[in-house]
Amino acid sequence: MPTHIQPTVLLLLLSSVALIGLPHAWTIAPSVFGFFYALLIWRVVGIWKKNWLPNKAILFLLTCAGIALLYQQHLGVFGRNAGTSIFITALGLKLLEIKTTRDVYFIVFLSFIVAATLFLYQQSMGMALYIIAVCVSLLATLVVINMRTSDAKKAIKTALIIILQALPLGITFFILFPRLEAPHWTFLQDKSQIKSGLSETLEPGAISDLALSDELVFRVKFDGAIPPQPQRYWRGPVFSLTDGKKWLPLLKRDTQRNQDTLSFSGSPYQYTLLLEPQDKNWVFALDMPDKLAPPLKINTYYQVTTDANPSIRAEYTLQSYSDYNTGNIGNSERQENLQLPPVISPEITALVSQLHGFDASPSRFIQEVMNHFRTQQFYYSLTPPLMEENPIDTFLFKTHTGFCSHYATAFVYLMRIAHIPARVVSGYQGGELNKQGNFLEIKQADAHAWTEVWLENKGWTRIDPTTAIAPERVEQGVNIDKQINSGSVNFDLGQRGSTAANIAKQFRQAWQNADYSWQRWVINYNNTNQAHFLSRFGLNNSQRMLTWLFAILSGLTLGLFWWLTRQPQKQQDHASRLYQQFTHKLAKLQLQKLPGETASAFAIRIIQQHPDLTLPINTITELYLKIRYNKDSDADDLKKLTQAIRALKINHLRRH
């Protein structure tokens, strides 16, 4: 290996390493990230200031400092963050030890591993394109070393060609090779990194914390018509138990629902739901779901859950009806949904009486409560006043300002005082239509709370008190961008923005559509989806799959071999004969080419012994390699090689 490495090689290598480490600014500890980039900058300066590079004693101290930083994080050895931090620290330290080409090879291979760790944190299409670009740069570094060229542009072009040549093989392996299921490797994933949305408990105002988040929760693609905005209720946890402030779901041993009491009418909606990773096993089905297949199941509150690992992105096929009847209610279920705190304020009892809760039908009382919200100067706000004590009384009689959970909990409270079974349902409402891909995107800002009231001959009936005070929330949906920018409630009223804003929105939706396809067909290509896809082509067993895999790989390999060797053989043979003349000249000076020694290695060895021959030896070697292995070579290169070898006189060699 040479002891001197060209600055071009080092700059290309260090630039690639810098790009690899950049996204880890959001994944690893700032101290580890800063330590890595300090070492990287040190090595960049060392390209021109070699005497500034550390000696062995300083390297040892730096290694101890790196170990101390890792130990300080208390991450251990195993796990996503721990492993990534170890690799990045090792890569930074190794940069200061670059002395030979072998060190460059080692750093390139280690950099490939660090690049792959980025997929442990994010699997978006954008991240995939970024990692591919970085890998092209790393591969170009190897090309520069092996082709003995300082032309970075040419090296990058060659690296792209190599990747394109390998792409058919990679696609074939991806489609046909048996999939590695997530449970075998998700122990590396840190649960603390999984984001959560809705909570297992509900307090007035809790959902407003999500209203300023554009984090994606799930995407839905319908087989036919998309339900209108007012019917897009995505059911989550149901809350029946309350102490007047906090609401909790009732936990039962029998969580499996007997759906025999459910009856449906009208046409169903059939759809595919792509759920993002989360920390709960909830699946937000369109109200009301029917015909569930494992691993999905439905509990006694018609909430769909999954037995699969929720921390992994999953796709489910579901069917729901917008018209349904849940049937009769049992005594225990009735009592559960009439539960109230021991003490009820006289003001609330008086309000229920005023609104005919004790002397009118449930339907009449529901209408009276909705009219009360509508006419008594109630307001819908993301930032209502704090209501730490007696929040329902405070909301109804003092502040009159709240978010969806304020209206839902107060409504259920009033219903129960009037002896009408009621409960709070949380989930998501609405969703933005991506016109490019014709699917809905539901984000955390779409989080919502509504109520269910049990009515005779109708069963559990959805009543959304928010529609009394802010009907635009349900009928039009949320304008998430404006709501986040302003920090206040904003609805999608169908108003056209500026030309630039519309173009930006179309571009964003086009990108989201591409990312949706990426997530469905690449990231979510598991055993189930692979079996379903290959069954379309009759590959429904392992033997057929492996047979086709072998056949396709053989065909691609032969095709690639033909493509690589299609350059006219005559010119290559002529170059080989000329190169043999060159080696024969050198052999007369006891400079024999060793068996198996490459042309590049042979040239390096000659130059080490005869530095004054660097220019002619490099010229001959580069021309020979170009003619032999580069399809862009032409007859002019062959002519130059002939002239260079003739110019190398034996007598001149003997004088040296």
Rounded distance between C-alpha atoms, residue 638 and residue 644, angstroms = 10
Confidence of residue 259 (pLDDT cuts 50, 70, 90): low
Judged by DSSP in three states, 344 sits in coil
Judged by DSSP in three states, 565 sits in coil
Phi then psi for 302, rounded to 5 degrees? 65, 20
Confidence of residue 504 (pLDDT cuts 50, 70, 90): confident
Judged by DSSP in three states, 295 sits in coil
Residue 159: alpha-carbon gap to chain centroid: 26
Mean per-residue pLDDT, 220-246: 93
Rounded distance between C-alpha atoms, residue 245 and residue 238, angstroms = 16
Mean per-residue pLDDT, 374-389: 87
Mean pLDDT of the chain: 84
Name the more confident of 30 and 563: 30
How many CA atoms does the CB half-sphere of 498 hold within 13 Å? 3
Q: Are 473 and 464 within 8 A, CB to CB?
A: no
Rounded distance between C-alpha atoms, residue 271 and residue 221, angstroms = 6
Amino acid at 185: W
Name the more confident of 565 and 647: 647
- Crossing angle (nearest 10°) for helices 125-147 and 7-21: 160
Rounded distance between C-alpha atoms, residue 121 and residue 103, angstroms = 28
Confidence of residue 537 (pLDDT cuts 50, 70, 90): confident
- Global model pTM greater than 0.85: no
448 Cβ contact partners less than 8 Å away, ≥ 6 residues apart: 207, 233, 404, 426, 427, 428, 429, 430, 466, 473
Q: What is the pLDDT of residue 650?
A: 59
Judged by DSSP in three states, 60 sits in helix
**Residues facing 282 on adjacent strands:** 305
Rounded distance between C-alpha atoms, residue 197 and residue 213, angstroms = 10
What's the token pair of residue 289?
Answer: 């779901």
Burial class (CB within 10 angstroms; exposed 0-12, middle 13-18, buried 19+) of 585: middle
Residue 273: alpha-carbon gap to chain centroid: 16
What's the token pair of residue 559?
Answer: 């095709």
Name the more confident of 175 and 325: 325
Mean per-residue pLDDT, 391-404: 92
Mean per-residue pLDDT, 517-527: 81
Q: Please, what's the b/e burial string for 217-247 (b: 16 or more CB within 10 A of its CB; e: otherwise)?
A: bbbbbeeeebbebbbbbbbbbbbbebebeeb
Whether the per-residue pLDDT at 654 is higher than 60: the answer is no
Whether the per-residue pLDDT at 385 is higher than 90: the answer is no
Whether the per-residue pLDDT at 319 is higher than 90: the answer is yes
Mean per-residue pLDDT, 149-166: 82
Q: Provide the residue count of the chain.
A: 656
Mean per-residue pLDDT, 550-560: 80
Confidence of residue 103 (pLDDT cuts 50, 70, 90): confident
**Residues facing 233 on adjacent strands:** 429
Amino acid at 83: G
DSSP state letters, 582-640: HHHHHHTTT-PPPTT--HHHHHHHHHHH-GGGHHHHHHHHHHHHHHHH-TT--HHHHHH
Question: Which candidate, 127, 136, 150, places its Cα nearest to that of 8?
Answer: 150
Q: What is the pLDDT of residue 102?
A: 85
Indicate left, alpha or beta for 566 from its phi (over 0: left) and psi (-120 to 50: alpha).
alpha
**What does the pLDDT look like over 443-495, one tens digit per residue?**
999 999 999 999 999 999 999 999 999 999 888 888 888 888 887 888 776 66
Residue 493: alpha-carbon gap to chain centroid: 31
**What does the pLDDT look like over 23-81, one tens digit per residue?**
998 888 899 999 999 999 999 998 888 888 898 899 999 999 988 888 887 666 667 88
**Segments in 422-526 forming alpha helices (H):** 466-469, 472-475, 480-486, 499-518
190 Cβ contact partners less than 8 Å away, ≥ 6 residues apart: 79, 80, 81
Q: What is the pLDDT of residue 282?
A: 94
